[in-house]
Structure 1
Amino acid sequence: MKRISLIPNIITAFGLAIGLFVIFKVNMIEPGSGNFELIQKSVFLLLLVALADFVDGAVARAFKAQSDFGLMFDSLADAISFGVAPSVLLLKTLSLTQGSYLSFAAASGAMIYSLCGMLRLVRFNLKSIEAKGNLVEMSIQKKNFTGLPIPAAAAVAISTNLFLLTPFVTNFFDISNTLRVIVLTLVNILLGYLMVSRWKFPSLKRLNFRMPSFHLVFLTVLIAVFFLYGIFHYFSILFAVISWSYILIAFILSLIRLIAGKKSKTLKDFDPDDEDDEDKLNF
């Protein structure tokens, strides 16, 4: 039996514990009593989970401690923290009457989101196992994701929920509970589709920029200033913009591939069958 490295799995367990804490904490409140502060605190905790999810993979690669156990454990943690927690947070912060059409719509959207997120993780695990030893497949997986990654989907779901309750929005628009239910349900259904689709989403770890060093430093400082200002003063708006921008960038890149004559895939068959060599090279 192969030795299981402790450090990456401890980090994964830490993230999973935070995700479970968010679920348990939110379940202690009365349905519909969730406010902006509660959602914001939950968002910060789930962002900490996302950081742990990034770090555990980086540590495992750095120490060459990758294992099938770590892969499955990480997926389980992601399923709970990014697949279940956002749905629970959504349902608990909406004022829903049991048996009403709105409650059915909200529950259906949340179930679609969670189910598709778990299917996305299963497909990712299967492809990761199949790609072992296949340099072409490993290169493709490192450059692009097939389907929206579940951490990105969770970011869009919770940032949209937070955005609709932010004082900056509610002071200018009268957003009713019914409108929130409709918007968030449609967003959940869209995210569910994107997660199980075959749209290509770029891996941020593999982005390369070519520009003079002075320009790069200046651009980095400028972005950092706006980013830090946004975090302290307009966090909910900045978080929503960044989350949705990732999806927008993926669609723009897919459109560019389509115009360039390359094959841009959409959902045609969720079953992760082997693709032919031509499909493997079109990404």
Structure 2
Amino acid sequence: MSVYNVSTRLTEFDEWVRKSFSHANIEVIPVKGAEEKVPVIPTGATVTITCSPKFGLQRTIEHVTSVRSKGYRVVPHLAARMVESDRALRDFVRQIVDLGVTDLYVIGGDADEPLGKFFDAESILWALSEFDHGLTRLGVGCYPEGHPKISAHTLAEALHRKQEYADYMVSQLCFDPDALVGWLRDTRAAGVTLPLRIGVAAPLKVAKLAELSMRIGVGQSLRFLTKQHGIVGNLVLGRHYAPEKLLTDIGPELMSASLNIEGIHLFSFNQLEATVNWQNHISTT
């Protein structure tokens, strides 16, 4: 490849990175007061609302209602283990569709015991296929660095089955570029074609990011960050994590059709002002 072509490719990649982050979905955890922070996000952006055992389905609905009323496109998360029954599933879907939601992100959830018969994302997807729900897109999770409670083989088989019902996948938080792209190459070679939204941490202070990463079970990736990026010094100096580095460390391969990357999912951990300020900086540099 000529110097000209290399330079052009890198310029295209820089623009791809800027556009990917400026149009990223921003994840919000529905704790008390979170909806009051949302207006710092530009109207028209996509906000995703999580679902957890601590807050339940009703809290997710309440925040979806609030955020939709402010003019945002909203993607609720639905944790299978929080759904008590078929009726509860249909009620949840009816409520979000009535609010104008067309996209639902389905996960298994972190509850130790399911509230009803649904125990993983696949069981919810199958149940959704049994009625006319009105949703046009369904997303599922994927795990480039594995899951602390599920084997890699089981995860791979489940992802194959889920792609029959799903429209895209979102990766768990990852800091290791080689692990991410290596997993994605293997996943594509194995026949999974779902478009990917890459799960990326927002620009939190490194100390806070380390704490939250351990809490959500991505300690392996955090160990990579510790080894490769001088996290001890960053902790002492109170520096912030640079999300764009994950993509730039991989490079222009991310734009390839074979990897089929749809966009970015930003784990904001509700640090919305810092996240949006960083997005604005990236879009103008």
TM-score, normalised to structure 1, is 0.25
More helix by share: 1
More strand by share: 2
TM-score, normalised to structure 2, is 0.25
Larger radius of gyration: 1
